[in-house]
Amino acid sequence: MKESIKQSLKNKKILLSTCGCNYIEHFECRDWIPILKNIFGKVTVFGMRNHYYHHGKDYMNKLFLETIKKEKPDYIWINFDYDEIKIDTLIRIKEICPNCKTIFNCGDDDFRYDDFSRYYALFFDYVVSNLKDLSVYTQDGIKNVFYMVAISPKSFKPLNTEKKYPVSFIGAPVADRYDYIKYLKENHVDISLFGFGWNDFPDLKAIYKGHLLQEDFVKVVNETKINLNFSKSFLKKKSEQMKNRVLEVPACKSFILTEYTKKNPDFINKFKEINFRNKEELLKKINYFLKNENEIKKITNKVYKETLKEWTWELQLINFFNNIEKNKNYYPKRIFKKYKIKRLKEEDLLLENEKIIRLLKNYDYVTIKKDLVFESKYRDFIQGYSLEKSKKEISCCDYTLSSPLIGDYAIFLGKKAYNLVNNNDFNKLLNINQLAVKKEFFINHLSDFKKIIDNKFSEIITEDNTVFVSIPLVSIRDIDPIGYIGMKKVFRMLFFNKLFSIVYNKKPSVYPLKMIIESLKRRKYFIIRYIFDYISNKENWKKLNFF
């Protein structure tokens, strides 16, 4: 870094606001903060998830803006998980601190760009993405994007330990990981399994060894001869993602076999010996390398050197801020385009087709309102934008479940539901208020939409015609719940956050009683069962202690 730029950054302040920056085990705290303190004169940390759990979303957003007003940072680096930061809050940042540069960090763009980052990126000056191919951003006209994936050699490092695990995998049971692990076990591979979520598989009980904290994670990686990494996401359509494991394991100077994906850094894919594409190839490579440990050492040394050469947070962050300071050009506030959207009422769909078509004469898109409790003032812009950019016929946003008794208590995750539950259950949970539709498609499928108004969903939503928007833009009153396991998979249970806040603040509250009444009165038994399951699971108590 040139001395002038280095000195310039030393005279500046950055506000780091992420979900994990107050949790010592999280890389945002453990790795980023020391490096940022070496780059900037002052680093202010705003633990988003801590404030969210302790005081609720509204208070957290208020406190966030107050922190910006007080600190007046030159840079604001934000990384949020879902909708913790309100869009209004993002807009207010520039009103409070007009000269600060805002940065949106997107760590899961390989499967969240089209439904998440595509929209939030519009409210930031810069975007940091884990996508090696940034063309999805540039095609949408978003050019201020940087590719960044890295590790900290201080956190992931070689240890002088005995290799006591022949093979291990650390992670959750998403996609086809269970099938892989079961296949290896059935083929007599001595494999050890770590991570959250494997309690649901009793046939793997003998090899499951629980969740690992960061220190234990590094220890197990070092104690393992062959570490495994899988690249598929939870999506129905074959979807792959770059997992930081492909850098973390080599940084520990340990051996890895990783499921091939072109999204991995090029140097990882260059080492063809460590990539596998199916169960049979993985088994073959495990058996080969366990018999040829000298090969393991030779490959490990090469990958270790390549990893530390340019894939460290220190180098990546310094280069990033160096580029910003050097270029001095960041992008102005975007103008929110007004889309021609016609809101049809429930009774409009009872009209003859010709009359409905006449109602749509001067519009490009259609939404239908039925028993709608609330809708975001940004809904038309975001769903119109989603249809324009995706070139699809239907936009399906997430919805919030709201009750007069307990307020907002759950959020339906549309994209996740489409990929994790069967079609009948997905259609059962869909709500007409979620949808924005291109006019031509709506007219051509009028009979289907007339059925939907009576909650008789046909399979009108497909992967080819629908873009999901993972932002809760509407709020509804009631649903007909599906089975508990499905509900647990596809809803964010907001009532749990409120319970956490009540326990944390040690204040008496009638909210738990109201929640029980709501559950019994509306036959929403999943609420009580979710709470019981959560508090009876020891692993979840460990999570609570994080915050």
pLDDT tens, residue by residue, 23-37: 777 888 888 999 999
Does one domain contain both 16 and 133? Answer: yes
- Characterise 197 by phi-psi region: left (phi > 0), alpha (psi -120 to 50), beta (else): left
pLDDT of residue 545: 57
240 is a domain residue? yes
Confidence of residue 507 (pLDDT cuts 50, 70, 90): confident
Confidence of residue 157 (pLDDT cuts 50, 70, 90): very high
pLDDT of residue 534 exceeding 90: no
pLDDT tens, residue by residue, 352-388: 999 999 999 999 999 999 989 999 999 999 999 999 9
Does one domain contain both 221 and 350? Answer: no
Structure tokens at 214: 């960061």
pLDDT of residue 496: 81
Alpha helices per DSSP H over 21-56 = 27, 33-39, 48-55
Does one domain contain both 411 and 486? Answer: yes
Does one domain contain both 304 and 393? Answer: no
- b/e map 129-151, b = 16+ CB within 10 Å: bbbbebebbeebebebbbebbbb
**Residues 165, 150: Cα–Cα separation, whole Å:** 26
pLDDT of residue 539: 59
φ/ψ of 246, rounded to 5, equals -70, -15
pLDDT of residue 66 exceeding 90: yes
Does one domain contain both 284 and 376? Answer: no
Does one domain contain both 206 and 108? Answer: no
pLDDT of residue 456 exceeding 90: no
Does one domain contain both 85 and 174? Answer: no
Does one domain contain both 462 and 437? Answer: yes
74 vs 503, residue with greater confidence: 74
CATH number (domain holding residue 113): 3.40.50.2300
Report angle CA 220, 223, 228 to the nearest 5 degrees: 65
pLDDT of residue 454: 72
Task: Report, as an integer, the average pLDDT of 481-487.
Answer: 91
233 vs 372, residue with greater confidence: 372
Measure Cα distances from 362 to 112, 339, 366, 369 in Å: 33, 11, 11, 19
pLDDT of residue 466 exceeding 90: yes
pLDDT tens, residue by residue, 386-398: 999 999 999 999 9
Does one domain contain both 109 and 229? Answer: no
Collect all residues with Cβ–Cβ distance below 8 Å to 108 and sequence separation of at least 6.
116, 130, 241
Q: Average per-residue pLDDT in the chain?
A: 90
Confidence of residue 175 (pLDDT cuts 50, 70, 90): confident
46 is a domain residue? yes
pLDDT tens, residue by residue, 37-63: 999 999 999 988 888 888 889 999 999
Confidence of residue 237 (pLDDT cuts 50, 70, 90): low
pLDDT of residue 49: 83
Per the listing, tokens 């085990």 go with: 25
Task: Report, as an integer, the average pLDDT of 517-524.
Answer: 84
331 vs 452, residue with greater confidence: 452
Does one domain contain both 296 and 356? Answer: no
pLDDT of residue 333: 57
CA nearest neighbour of 412 among 428, 429, 395, 424 = 429
503 vs 91, residue with greater confidence: 91
442 is a domain residue? yes
Does one domain contain both 362 and 262? Answer: no
CATH number (domain holding residue 249): 3.40.50.2000
pLDDT of residue 330: 60
**Residues 50, 35: Cα–Cα separation, whole Å:** 22
Confidence of residue 546 (pLDDT cuts 50, 70, 90): low
Confidence of residue 508 (pLDDT cuts 50, 70, 90): confident
531 is a domain residue? no
244: containing domain? 165-311
Task: Report, as an integer, the average pLDDT of 233-258.
Answer: 86
Q: Please, which contacts does 200-208 make with residues 24 or more away whose CB atoms are closer than 8 Å?
A: 200/173, 201/173, 204/178, 207/181
pLDDT of residue 274: 95
Report angle CA 435, 453, 436 to the nearest 5 degrees: 15
Our count of domains for the chain comes to 3
**How many of the other CB atoms lie within 10 Å of CB of 470?**
22
